[in-house]
Amino acid sequence: MDLLPEETPELAKKHGFRSLKLLNVDLEQPLEDKPFGVDYGKLDNGLTYYVRSNSKPKMRAALALVVKAGSVLEEEDERGVAHIVEHLAFNATTKYTNHDIVKFMESIGAEFGACQNAMTSADDTVYELFVPVDKPELLPQAISVLAEFSSEIRVSAEDLEKERGAVMEEYRGSRNANGRMQDSHWALMMAGSKYAERLPIGTEKVIRTVSAATVKHFYKKWYHLQHMALIAVGDFPNSESVVELIRTYFGQKSSADEPPGILRFPVPSHDEPRFSCFIESEAAGSAVMISCKVPAQELKTIKDYRDLLVESMFLLALNQRLFKVSRRRDPPFHSCSAASDNLVNPIKAYILTSSCKENGIIEALEAMLTELARIHLHGFSEREISIVRALLLSGIESAYLERDQIQSTSLRDEYVQHFLCNEPVVGIEFEAQLHKSLLPSISAAEVATYARKFSTTCNCVIKAIEPQSTVTLDDLKNTVAKVTSLEEGESISAWDEEQVPEEIVTIKPNSGSVDQQQEYADINVTELILSNGMRVCYKCTDFLDDQVLISGYSYGGLSELSEPDYVSCSMGSTIAGELGKFGHKPSVLMDMLAGKRAEVGTKLGPYMRTFSADCSPTDLETALQLVYQLFMTNVEPREEEVKKVMEMAEEAVRAQERDPYTAFENRVREINYGNSYFFRPIRISDLKKVDAYKACEYFSNCFKDPSTFTVVVVGNLDLATACPLILQYLGGIPKPPVPILQFSRDDLNGLPFTFPDNIIRREGKQDREIVRKPMVEAQCSVQLCFPVELKNGAMIEEIHFVGFLSKLLETKMIQVLRFKHGQIYSAGVSVFLGGNKPSRTGDVRGDISINFSCDPSMSSTLVELALDEVLHLQNEGPSDEDISTILEIEQRAHENGLQENYHWLERIIRSYQSRVYSGDLGTSFQIQEEARLKVRTSLTPSTSKSALQRILPFPCRKKYTVVVRIQADGSSTPEAQEIDPVHTVLSL
The Cα angle at residue 915 between residues 909 and 919, in degrees rounded to 5: 70
CA atoms of 898 and 57, how far apart (whole Å): 10
Asked if residues 278 and 184 have their Cβ atoms less than 8 Å apart, the reply is yes
Higher per-residue pLDDT: 271 or 879: 879
What residues contact 392, with CB distance under 8 A and at least 6 apart?
Answer: 309, 312, 313, 316, 435, 439
What would you report as the CA-atom Rg of the chain, rounded to the nearest whole angstrom?
Answer: 29
339: pLDDT strictly greater than 60: yes
What residues contact 970, with CB distance under 8 A and at least 6 apart?
Answer: 774
CA atoms of 418 and 414, how far apart (whole Å): 6
**How many residues are listed for the chain in this entry?**
988
Higher per-residue pLDDT: 652 or 377: 377
- Choice among 392-406, 907-921, 963-977 with the minimum mean pLDDT: 963-977
Asked if residues 650 and 723 have their Cβ atoms less than 8 Å apart, the reply is no
pLDDT at 7: 43
Higher per-residue pLDDT: 187 or 139: 139
5: pLDDT strictly greater than 80: no
Higher per-residue pLDDT: 531 or 749: 531
CA atoms of 90 and 87, how far apart (whole Å): 6
pLDDT cut 70: percent of the chain above it: 94
pLDDT at 95: 92
Question: Across 650-654, 711-715, 757-761, 816-820, which has the greatest mean pLDDT?
Answer: 711-715
Q: What is the mean pLDDT of residues 767-774?
A: 53
User: Which residues are known catalytic residues?
Assistant: 86, 163
The Cα angle at residue 431 between residues 24 and 613, in degrees rounded to 5: 130
> Domain residues of the chain, as ranges?
39-251, 274-397+423-489, 514-743, 769-967
Mean pLDDT across the chain, nearest whole number? 90
- Choice among 186-190, 383-387, 536-540 with the minimum mean pLDDT: 186-190
pLDDT at 581: 95
Best CATH choice for the domain 514-743 from the list 3.30.830.10, 3.90.550.10, 3.30.505.50, 3.40.50.1970? 3.30.830.10
- Please give the helix or strand (H or E) that residue 830 lies within, else none: strand 827-832
Q: How far apart are the first and last CA of the chain?
A: 58
Task: Please indicate whether the domains covering 274-397+423-489 and 769-967 agree at the CATH topology level.
Answer: yes
Residue range 850-889, pLDDT digits in tens: 999 998 889 999 999 999 999 999 999 999 999 999 999 9
pLDDT at 769: 58
pLDDT at 768: 52
Q: How far is C-alpha 126 from the geometric centre of its chain's CA atoms?
A: 20
pLDDT at 773: 52
Reported confidence tier of residue 12, pLDDT bands at 50, 70, 90: very low
- Choice among 37-51, 264-278, 411-425 with the minimum mean pLDDT: 264-278
Asked if residues 61 and 408 have their Cβ atoms less than 8 Å apart, the reply is yes
Reported confidence tier of residue 113, pLDDT bands at 50, 70, 90: confident
The closest of 711, 705, 708, 715 to 726, measured between CA atoms, is 711
CA atoms of 409 and 398, how far apart (whole Å): 18
> What is the amino acid identity at position 783?
Q
116: pLDDT strictly greater than 90: no
981: pLDDT strictly greater than 70: no
φ/ψ of residue 53, rounded to 5: -85, 130
Asked if residues 646 and 623 have their Cβ atoms less than 8 Å apart, the reply is no
766: pLDDT strictly greater than 60: no
Q: Per-residue b/e over 473-503, b at no fewer than 16 CB within 10 Å?
A: eeebeebbeebeebbeeeebeebeeeeeeee
pLDDT at 753: 75
Q: What is the mean pLDDT of residues 215-231?
A: 96
> What is the amino acid identity at position 602?
T
650: pLDDT strictly greater than 50: yes
Residue range 492-538, pLDDT digits in tens: 999 998 889 989 999 999 999 999 999 999 999 999 999 999 999 99
CA atoms of 116 and 233, how far apart (whole Å): 15
Global pTM exceeds 0.95: no
Q: What is the mean pLDDT of residues 192-216?
A: 95
Look up the CATH number of domain 39-251.
3.30.830.10
Higher per-residue pLDDT: 619 or 767: 619
CA distances from 102 to 136, 551, 647, 739, 840 (A): 20, 38, 49, 56, 41
pLDDT at 715: 97
Superfamily of 274-397+423-489 according to CATH: Metalloenzyme, LuxS/M16 peptidase-like (3.30.830.10)
φ/ψ of residue 731, rounded to 5: -70, -20
Sign, CA torsion 163/164/167/170: negative
Reported confidence tier of residue 345, pLDDT bands at 50, 70, 90: confident
Best CATH choice for the domain 769-967 from the list 3.40.50.1370, 3.40.50.920, 3.40.50.10140, 3.30.830.10? 3.30.830.10
Q: What is the mean pLDDT of residues 348-358?
A: 93
* Half-sphere exposure of residue 551: CA atoms within 13 angstroms, side-chain side: 18
622: pLDDT strictly greater than 60: yes
> What is the amino acid identity at position 47?
L
pLDDT at 779: 76
Reported confidence tier of residue 967, pLDDT bands at 50, 70, 90: low
- Angle, in degrees to the nearest 10, between helices 302-326 and 382-401: 120
The closest of 809, 928, 801 to 870, measured between CA atoms, is 809
Q: What is the mean pLDDT of residues 709-722?
A: 97
pLDDT at 313: 97
Strand 985-987 versus strand 780-790 pairing type: unpaired
763: pLDDT strictly greater than 70: no
784: pLDDT strictly greater than 50: yes
pLDDT at 969: 45
Q: What is the mean pLDDT of residues 244-248?
A: 97
The closest of 529, 381, 551, 376 to 453, measured between CA atoms, is 376
454: pLDDT strictly greater than 50: yes
Reported confidence tier of residue 970, pLDDT bands at 50, 70, 90: very low
pLDDT at 838: 84
